[in-house]
Chains A and B, each alone.
Chain A
Amino acid sequence: MTTKEICSTSFDELLEQRGIKRRDFLKLCAGIAATLGLSQTMIPRIAHALEESVIGATSGNLKPALWLELSSCSGCTESFAQSDSPNIATVILELLSLNYSEALCAGAGWSLELAKEQTIDAGGYLLIIEGSLMEGWDGNALVIAEEKGTEIVEHAASHADAIICVGSCSVDGGWQSAYPNPSGAIGIPLYLNNAKAAGRLDYDLPPIVNLPHCPANPEHVAAVVVEYLLLKRFPELTNENKPAMMFSQTIHDNCPRRGHFENGEFVYEFGTEAEVKRFCLYPVGCKGPETKSNCPVVRWNRRNGWCIDSGAPCIGCATTNPRRPGFNWVDMNAPFRSHLRNVAIGDFNIPPAFIAYGVAGALVLGLVIHGFGMKASGRLKGGAPYERERKWDTNHPERAIGPAKAAEKAAEKAAAAKDKDDAKSKDKNKSKKGDSSKKGGGK
């Protein structure tokens, strides 16, 4: 069962049925070309690929897709659904034959689960996953349609052509997996790799693309899906499986407020003149300098604006650590109004500066006390007297420094020198340099 019956053989008719003009469709293709960084000459190819996908679909070969919603807030679905007119979301999803989506499908319950089962059995689908998995309480922290989330994902990944992890939760656990993570939330790539390593999966993992952000940027999702339809491959990925063209420059690099940063013009407090002037948000905890994404270029909300444009510091929602639990964007960037994350010592989260000033204060106190000790012990007046002989040598006469002979010699010499020394200290005014050794003497 598919959720949408496609009853026309002509692509143009199909568009017409949905109230989309050919002109709007080409505009969409131009938008996709721009998002993918392709030249305008590629627009006909994109249009062709989309048409081909649909025409193929009339004979039942529309690329099927499953949109799994695990432990999520549906924010990514919502974000994607608000995508640009002329309705990229609608067109893309229908071009894709979205066979399962809790939020978007008209069907629900048993029939929808059946559709999912049939799609998985048929294979060759695109698996889009929103939200994290929860391993807590033996996987019972997340149960959908009487099935554990972990089992759903292991099953759904079995015949998928590719997996697209949409949103930071599915990439590395997101909010749910932030400290203390009682539900054992985990990102999809890490979960599947662990399952594979543990030998629970009897299939090779399909390629995985990570699209972080909270929520995922609809432009990113559309671009990746279309590139997959168009070229049957994913864009070049970073070592964290994020598309390199979207996630290899920091937000700071392309920020429209960067000039204010370099000029040293900052917002220190909200509601001030500096905020009105749209100065740099660095002192109020902007995480732009360590967050890699092309937000300033792609922007959000149909390219109307984005966080920093609307006056909010970046909270670093594109930070990822898909291989390392406990290091995801919430762990790394909270508290959001602070420049550095807190340092976790056991169950305590302490600002780094607090520890630094504490240790420095303790050290200064220690030195002051030591200084009083120096005064009390009389070391300040010319310092403590030197020991006549090294303590260790006194205790180990047979192993005193140097060959035994030299040590003996030295002892004699030292005794002689000490006698003179003592004599001199009794009569300080008569000090003279003549009695120093040949080496120590001259000026």
Chain B
Amino acid sequence: MAHLAHYKEAHPVPFVITHWINLIAMILLVFTGFYIHFPFFEGWMGVARGVHVFCGFTLFLNCLLRIILAFVVKSAAHAGCRKVEPDYKSFLPQRDNRHQFGAWIKYYLFVKKEHPLGAKFGVLQKISYLIVPLLITIVFITGLCLWGVTYELAPFAALNELVGGLMIMRIIHYYLMWVFILFTFVHVYLATIGGLGPAKLMFLHKESGGLVYDPECCNIVGEDCMDEEDKKSKKD
């Protein structure tokens, strides 16, 4: 086994919930968004717009909640480790993965053979996870610009004028949706290509075994084979 253990501490229950909300809201937003862009079957425009607006607010508020929780809830900032710290630290530069930007890119491009030794999130992962709330905010604002067109609330009217009109704003909103879709492709690929352990933890809050990491010495110190032990105990 060459991946780190996925412990519950890495992903506490509140984040299981916010991740579920993100997933459902985004699926509904993308689906209704495509429908509003071009109603590919009849009869649901009113519903689609209602769901789209509702899920848009849900996604943004959930994003705000997630940011607040990052400062309130404690989680393990290192994979394969049960030591918890305030969650936001997982997203900031950590001692464990300084100077690893190049290493990660090399690893993904198969130039580097060995998996970089790092914290819970890789460098690229941290950067992309930090960009996501920013993207959610921007897509939310562009959505609002397209929503209250006649109401002409000053900031949104100003933004519409800044980009050059409603048509341009629509195209921006459309492409931002695609950024989320592409992000999801990569996100799902990277999360599942090495096994279903991370997905089980994310969605079901179930642990799976693996290597054990000690943040004090910043290195792998052993292995926790809880799966195999479970199987063994069942056999016995």
**Chain A interface residues (CB < 8 Å from chain B):** 239, 248-250, 253, 261-266, 282-283, 287, 289-290, 292, 316, 319, 321, 324, 327, 332-333, 339-341, 343, 352, 356, 359-360, 363-364, 367, 370-371, 373-374, 377, 379-380, 382-392, 401-402, 406, 409-410, 413-414, 417-418, 420-421, 424, 431-433, 435-437, 439-443
Q: How many A-B residue pairs have CB under 8 A?
A: 216
* Contact A414-B219, Cβ < 8 Å, known A290-B149, A384-B107, A389-B117: yes
Contact A266 B39 (CB under 8 A): yes
Set of chain A residues within 8 Å of B103, measured between Cβ atoms? 390-392
- The answer to whether A387 touches B114 (Cβ under 8 A) is yes
| B213 proximal to A (CB < 8 A) | yes
CB interface residues, B 96-144, toward A, < 8 Å: 96, 98-100, 103, 107-108, 110, 112-118
B18-26, B66-74, B79-87: which lies at the A interface? B79-87
Asked if B3 contacts A356 (CB within 8 A), the reply is no
Q: Is the CB of B3 within 8 A of A383?
A: yes
- What 1/0 flags go to B12-55 for Cβ under 8 Å of A? 00000000000000000000000001110011111111000000
A363-B182, A392-B99 known; A264 vs B217 contact (CB < 8 Å): no
A410 touches B219 (CB 8 A): yes
Q: Specify which of B2, B96, B149, B223 lies most central, judged by the most chain A CB atoms within 10 Å of its CB.
A: B223
Q: How far is the CB of B172 from chain A (nearest CB, A)?
A: 10
Q: List B contacts of A287 (CB < 8 A).
A: 167
Residues of A within 8 A of B118 (CB): 390
Chain B residue total in the interface (Cβ 8 A): 76
**B203 contacts the other chain (CB 8 A):** no
Q: Cβ of A367 and Cβ of B217 under 8 Å apart? A: no
Where the two chains meet, the residues of B that have a C-beta atom closer than 8 Å to any C-beta of A are 1-3, 5, 37-39, 42-49, 80-83, 95-96, 98-100, 103, 107-108, 110, 112-118, 149-150, 152, 161, 164-168, 170-171, 174-175, 178, 181-182, 185-186, 189, 193-195, 207, 211-226, 228-229
A340–B112 touching, CB < 8 Å = no
Given contacts A359-B182, A392-B100, A436-B222, contact A377 B45 (CB under 8 A): no
In Å, the complex CA distance between A186 and B82 comes to 67
* Residues of chain B contacted by A386 (CB below 8 angstroms): 2, 114-117, 211, 220
- When distances are taken between beta carbons in the complex, the residues of chain B under 8 Å from A316 are 167
Given contacts A433-B222, A433-B226, 6 further A-B contacts (CB under 8 A): A367-B189, A383-B3, A392-B99, A431-B223, A439-B214, A443-B226
